[in-house]
Structure 1
Amino acid sequence: MSLLHQIALTKVKGIGPILGRHLVSRFGNAEAVFSASKQELTTIPGIGGHLADAILHAGALHEAENELRFVEKHRIQVLFSGNKDYPKRLDECPDAPLLLYYKGCADLNAARMVSIVGTRNATSYGKAVCSEFIEALLPYHTTVISGLAYGIDSFAHRNALTHGISTIGVLGHGLDRIYPAANREMAAKMLDCGGLLTEFPSGTKPDRQHFPMRNRIIAGLADVVIVVEAAAKGGALITAEIANTYNRDVCAFPGNLNQAFSAGCNYLIKTNRAHLITSVKDLAYLMNWEPEAKRTSSGQLELPISLGAPEQRVYDAIQAAGQMAIDDLLLKLQWPQSKLAITLLEMELKGVIAALPGKIYRAI
């Protein structure tokens, strides 16, 4: 497929994501859209004579040539809707961008993706919640997404980097700049532990109207949107609302009733627009996520939660067998049934084993 024509299609004024997808679906690919006749183009609902002329005019292709030179020079990936590298979660959303510009190393289709949003005027409470939450995400191997703005966004990215968690910043401008400028150093680090993503071409300024557009990408990229701290109005609530329309889970941390920057979270919870959470354990329960064990340099499993000696014996037995029935465990360990039952329950609560039907247990 022609990358030049894919970029050019987004340069035609009047063609948005929905109409662009319709054109590609009708003609097979972006290049074929520009090769179509005016008569063929005007058979498409939403394409009148004026817009057909705009497609056939060479202006969009000239603009695309400049953009192509920019992305090639700066080694930027161009992701077109429907292609294998385009984020699959986002591609399910009806108004997802037709094309994305991406620079970084993170997998945009990672198994677990969490968007974290909040006020630009983060309080000490919001910062503490964000910090503790992200650190606790480590055993779940998630990718953290946010908008690289001041406040909770920046705090989320910075804490993710601190803990070696992949983090993606979604921008409201082109990749030829970083806004706010104070985040340039952090953005550079994110390229080695995450990435930067935008639908806007080079030269696009961080204008006010671009940020609600950016918010739909933050919502659509993730499995779940977490609102840490938010006022009664603002971008975080817009992102949460969009996420609900995309059938994404939304979670919010409750806050002080008298704190202005908790009003948005409390409203989302009160109106059933968000699940109330107080920790990563609440999120893991909601999403049915289990922590993943790491491997040491010797290849042995290193559990994310420390186990006592009796629990370790049970875990080792189950892990070696793949799964074990409680009767087999009793025979192997030669323990009283009451001791084994209590140990198994404690291990379930810690999230290191899972109970299967028939009193069978498997290691996580």
Structure 2
Amino acid sequence: MEEYYLMWLTRIDGIGLKRAHRLLEHFGSAEAVWRAEPSAIRRSAILGEKLTEGLLLSREEDQLNDWIIELEEKEIDFYSYWHPRYPRLLREIQNPPLGIYVRGEIPDDEIDTVAIIGARKCSRYGATVAYDIAKDLGKTNVIVVSGMARGIDSEGHRGILDGGGKTIAVLGCGVDICYPAENKELMERIIENGCVISEYPPGMPAVAKNFPNRNRIIAGLSKMVVVVEAGKRSGTIITADLALDYGREVYAVPGNVTSALSYGTNALIKQGCPIITEGSDILSALGIAYKETEKVKFQIKTAENISPEEKEIFDLIEDSTPISAEALCRRLGRKVQEVQYILSLLELSGYIEKIPQAGYIRAH
């Protein structure tokens, strides 16, 4: 029940993370804040009079119960900043959301996340590049993060899903609302193979002021950000700047120098951001790629025998029941990058094959 009281705390306008921390430290729990005497809240001197009045007026049992029922009926999870399922990378940024609403399943923190973002009114070139790069990543254990907007965002989501991977969509509205409405089918696919996330409660419409806040979450969830197309002044460039502020790597896809849609990406390259042209560039940057010479050596070696390290993973893969890379990591107690490296080589050598949205089985 404490998590629901934390949800209540996040819905009070103006509280913020610092004040919420101070309230929890002072009273011991969100439930204790809920039940505290008005005089005790005032004596704490944590909130001004206006915020104190807002907090006291919001303590309505019926309203809280209605919120809880709504989450259950709509199959929405709420994770506060203090919940173990709250993403680690997001917790590290400046001004992280006090809580997030989720439909679907948040991937493990150990899995690499890459944001693919860009213009809504993108070119055919931009759409194709975003889709192809994401689809390549779908064959690996990398999560694509984006905002489910028209254009580059949607192509990034579709590409990773068509490649057999998973994705996270960060919304500027409640997770029970599909925006834009045309992405209803895409949203359903995302929920089945990843999740949709928002800091806004169910029922919150998509309004312009929400999207800058949405952009900071996209940057915060991602280990690296790939910008495909962006105008001179755009939300995409703001997201890239936020990622740089958070200490995340930003990469750019080069574009036509005469196109306004490429102004932002080409400017990022001029500023020193590395160039991305294909999915393997991202894998190399994440440290889970392999060299062609290593692949050849592996094929020659495995023709005679599989090494103990490779056999350890191969022995856990069955003939007909797929097993995911995440499950292998948990069973072996090893890092995702190490396991994914060997899985890639085993697949290329014909020892195993990947079943989209399921995992790996032995090749037949």
SS at match of 2:84: coil
Asked if the contact 1:106–1:167 (Cα under 8 Å) also holds between the matched residues in 2, the reply is: no
Match for 1:320 among 279, 291, 307? Answer: 307
The residue type paired with residue 287 of structure 1 is L
Match of 2:234 in 1: 234
SS of the residue corresponding to residue 244 of structure 1 reads helix
| Distance in 1, Cα, partners of 2:43 & 2:94 | 22
The answer to whether the 8 A contact 1:7-1:64 is kept is: no
Counterpart CA distance in 1 for 2:210 and 2:59 is: 23
| Matched position secondary structure for 2:19 | helix
1:3 pairs with 2:3: yes
Shift in alpha-carbon separation, 1:44–1:214, aligned structure 2, 3 A: farther
Q: Compare 98-107 and 200-209 and name the one that shifted more.
A: 98-107
User: Is this contact kept in 2: 1:114–1:142, CA < 8 A?
Assistant: yes
TM-score, length-normalised on structure 2?
0.78
Shifted more, 35-44 versus 201-210: the winner is: 35-44
Deviations 1:6-56 (A, max 9, x none): 121122222123432343344332212223344554566761122122222
Residues 23 and 46, structure 2, Cα contact 8 Å, conserved in 1: no
Q: Distance in 2 between matches of 1:198 and 1:305?
A: 44
Corresponding position of 2:268: 268
Change (3 A) 1:249 1:61: farther
Is 2:90–2:217's contact at 8 Å kept on the other side of the alignment?
Answer: yes
Q: Which moved more, 1:16-25 or 1:261-270?
A: 16-25
Q: Distance in 1 between matches of 2:45 and 2:94?
A: 17
Aligned twin of 2:32? 32
Quote the residue 2:288 is aligned against: 289
Output the CA distance in 2 between the equivalents of 1:66 and 1:257: 54
Could you tell me how far 1:319 is from its partner in structure 2?
Answer: 4.2
Hey, what does 1:90 align to over in structure 2? 90
How far residue 155 of structure 1 moved from its aligned partner, in angstroms, is 0.7
User: If the length of structure 1 is used for normalisation, what is the TM-score?
Assistant: 0.78
Matched-pair contact (CA < 8 Å) for 2:8–2:64: yes
Q: Tell me how far 1:305 sits from its aligned partner.
A: 11
Asked whether the 8 Å contact 2:168–2:197 carries over to 1, the reply is yes
Q: Which residue in the other structure is 2:256 paired with?
A: 256
Tell me whether 1:49 sits opposite 2:36 in the alignment: no
Whether the 8 Å contact between 1:11 and 1:60 is mirrored in structure 2 is no
Could you report, residue by residue, the CA deviation over 1:145-182 in whole angstroms, capped at 9, with x for unpaired residues?
11010000111111122112101111111123101000
Partner of 1:162: 162
The 1:312/1:23 distance shift into structure 2, 3 A limit, reads: same
1:327 maps to which residue? none
Give structure 2 stretches of 5+ with no counterpart.
Answer: 311-340, 347-364
Contact map agreement 1:198 1:214 (CA 8 A) in 2: yes
Deviates more, 1:281-290 or 1:207-216: 281-290
Where 1:251 maps in the other structure, the secondary structure is: strand
Question: Which 10-residue stretch deviates more, 262-271 or 52-61?
Answer: 52-61
CA contact (8 A) 2:127 2:155 kept: yes
CA RMSD of aligned residues (A): 2.8
Q: Deviations over 1:221-243 (max 9, x none)?
A: 11111111111111111111111
Is the radius of gyration larger for structure 1 or structure 2? 1
Report if the CA contact (8 A) 1:106-1:193 is conserved: no
Contact persistence 1:4–1:65 (CA under 8 A): no
Shift of 1:352: 5.0
In 1, Cα distance between equivalents of 2:133 and 2:30: 43
Alignment of 1:341-360 (within 5 A): 352=345
Q: Which amino acid aligns with 1:320?
A: S
Cα pair distance change 1:319/1:248, threshold 3 Å? farther
Matched, 1:184 2:184: yes
SS of 2:227 mapped into structure 1: strand
**C-alpha deviation, 1:281, in angstroms:** 2.8
Q: 1:314-342 CA distances to partner (integer Å, 9 max, x unpaired)?
A: 2556841449xxxxxxxxxxxxxxxxxxx
Tell me the CA shift for residue 255 of structure 1.
1.1
Any gaps of 5 or more consecutive residues in structure 1?
Answer: 292-303, 324-347, 354-364
CA shift for structure 1 position 74: 1.4
The sequence identity of aligned pairs, in percent, is 32
Partner of 2:141: 141
CA contact (8 A) 1:114 1:145 kept: yes
Alpha-carbon distance in structure 1 between the residues aligned to 2:230 and 2:152: 9
* Structure 2 partner of 1:244: 244
- The amino acid across from 1:288 in the alignment is G
* 1:203 counterpart residue number: 203
Q: Is the 8 A contact 1:11 1:63 kept in 2?
A: no
